Amino acid sequence: MKQLLRFLALAAVLVLSSCGGKKESANLKPITPVKFSDVVIQDGFWTPRLDSHKDVTLAVCIDQIENQTGRIRNFENAAKGEGKHSGIFFDDSDVYKALEGMAYSLQNHPDPVLEAKCDEWIDKFAAAQQEDGYINTFYTLTGLENRWDNMDKHEMYCAGHMIEAGVAYYNVTGKRKLLDVCIRMADHMMTVFGPDKRHWVPGHEEIELALVKLYETTGEKKYLDFAEWLLDQRGHGYGSFGKSGKKWNPIYYQDDKPVREMSEIAGHAVRAMYLYCGMSDVAAYTGDQGYIDALNRLWDDVVLRNMYITGGIGQSKHNEGFTEDYDLPNLEAYCETCASVGMVLWNWRMNQFTGDSKYADVMERSLYNGALAGISLKGDKFFYVNPLESLGNHHRQAWYGCACCPSQICRFLPSIGNYIYGVSKEGLWVNLYMGNTANVKVGRKAVTLTQETNYPWEGAVALKVGLKGSLQTQIRLRIPAWCKNYTLSVNKEPVQPIVEKGYAVVDRKWTDGDVVELNFDMPVEVVAADPRVKEDVGKRAVQRGPLVYCIEEADNTEDFDGLRIAENATFDAAFEREKLGGIVGLTAHVGDRVLTYIPYYAWDNREPGKMKVWVPLKEE
């Protein structure tokens, strides 16, 4: 029903926007994602990671928040109205993100003890809220008279993460105590800011996409309108540090031009990703062609000129973001884990209103490489920075003073079921390949999908359809951009499908027990970078399927710095069950030398040592 209401709301808004003069209605094809709560993952690759999240990662995050740092005590002190604030001014957001991860975990792994912990935290949040709806422990404990002065103090950023957590917990449990706290905070903000009120440019984007989630949950269009108003505040000179007197850098904050005029990514990478997510969400409801055109230009700039082979973005430590096109250093690469997660979230959204597989291709690349590298195989340590080369001194940590990345991974991993399927009026869309059982509504018909695969190690995928009676509809299966050859069959009968925007379209009358089989060829590829990437001239990377590989000193102990790859190197690929949690390892034969490659996501899980993704070419 919620999905149907969203479609109806979208259709109504598109009609209205075509008459308003301010916006030109877009001819969108709305694709509604199948929520993770309707997908049970049973997969050889992902299930162990979800189990370690449940058993290890959540415990690490809870311990850090409750015992090792002052994050939860800040809420306790704020409720009492006394005591000091400890940590960074935006530390509330880490608690909210961890709670969101706990909520997602409860959906697929009900746990009364964990749910009780969530309720305990939510009680502390509610107690810390001011009578006017405002909630932020930093200002409550350092002086409420200073709130809403400095646009870079992350008040709306923290509120946004609270809203995302409140929506998630409400959707999973039906409990609305935190949702009501969120509504009061949103309403408070709207009494201060908006048309005919104060201007405001959130220094760290996040509130925009969260407000759209609040709109979807409550049906209150004022939250969608407020999200759009905040987006449209950018680029008009309103950005300010308030009474501090410090000069605002509009490029760093994506505030140098109105959002509809943006064409080049700049500034802080994570902030940019959240901005583009918010623009995508608003555009999906308003059909604002100015937003959509800008997003298309920005996507080209990010993916074609500023993205690493791992799907990571943000080259520079200096601004946690961008420098200039094709400047992609390896050893100094920043590639914040949060930014890779942001690439998944943004490309997921772009796919939903375009039906173009190129967005799902980037989503998959960032998921399996840039984002997944952000957490150790045991689930207990985290990368903030993800370089493509290491001298042996870069390692995951149990926590960070700025802990946005651990809490980001905590909420992201258990939500991966969101990104597998979509539904539109045309039928069912399959974006990712992993073992699962999903309950889907296609039109008015309930359909059960059972996907079996050993992806990403093997290219064979079987999709079984379960339903009562029959259903005439399409199943659209993404053919990954890395795949050059594949075969497709239905009930063992070969099919030559029409391919539209990267999706193999199978249109037929489906009956119970029908099985679609896809087989992707997965050869090892030796890849050259764009020649304008000076750092990688004379070097090559290796990938197989969706995975980028690297060499690590743990496997290549002899003359690591002298190792070379060849364009015509021959490779052996073999599954190694006991190595790094089970991987397909690659062995490259280059003359009389042998190079051992492992998936990039798995590096730095053994003894310290050097690592490279881009390896110099052997001179002929």
Query: Kind and range of the H or E element at 227?
Result: helix 221-232
Tell me the residue type at 77.
N
CB 441 within 8 A of CB 457: no
Helix (H, G, I), strand (E, B) or coil at 35: coil
E strand spans, 386-435: 389-390, 421-424, 427-430
Tell me the residue type at 350.
M
Active site residue 182: no
Q: Please give, one letter per residue, the 3-state secondary structure of 495-514.
A: CCCEEECCEEEEEEEEECCC
What 592-597 contacts at long range (C-beta under 8 Å, 24+ apart), as own/partner pairs, is 593/563, 593/564, 595/551, 595/556, 595/563, 595/565, 595/569, 596/551, 596/555, 596/556, 597/542, 597/549, 597/550, 597/551
* Rounded distance between C-alpha atoms, residue 601 and residue 364, angstroms: 13
569 HSE (CA, 13 A, CB side): 32
- Cα–Cα nearest to 575, from 530, 544, 607, 601: 544
Q: Give every CB contact of residue 190 below 8 A, 6+ residues apart in sequence.
A: 222, 226
CA max distance for the chain: 74
Which residues does residue 490 pair with via DSSP β-bridges, in sequence order? 493, 516
Token digits of residue 585: 């390892």
Q: Which of 404, 410, 483, 550 is catalytic?
A: 404
* Rounded distance between C-alpha atoms, residue 351 and residue 502, angstroms: 11
240 HSE (CA, 13 A, CB side): 13
- In degrees rounded to 5, what are phi and psi of residue 412? -80, -50
* Rounded distance between C-alpha atoms, residue 328 and residue 607, angstroms: 27
Q: Which of 320, 336, 452, 552 is catalytic?
A: 320
Which residues does residue 39 pair with via DSSP β-bridges, in sequence order? 438
User: Which is it for strands 493-494 and 32-33: parallel, antiparallel or unpaired?
Assistant: unpaired
SS3 content of the chain, % helix, strand, coil (to 5): 40, 20, 40
Query: Kind and range of the H or E element at 358?
Result: helix 357-365
* Rounded distance between C-alpha atoms, residue 321 and residue 130, angstroms: 35
Give the Å distances, CA to CA, from 611 to 409, 560, 601: 23, 9, 12
Active site residue 320: yes
Handedness of CA 342, 229, 33, 98 (dihedral sign): positive
CB 424 within 8 A of CB 355: yes
Q: Give every CB contact of residue 559 below 8 A, 6+ residues apart in sequence.
A: none
Helix (H, G, I), strand (E, B) or coil at 275: helix
492 HSE (CA, 13 A, CB side): 1
Which are the catalytic amino acids?
320, 404
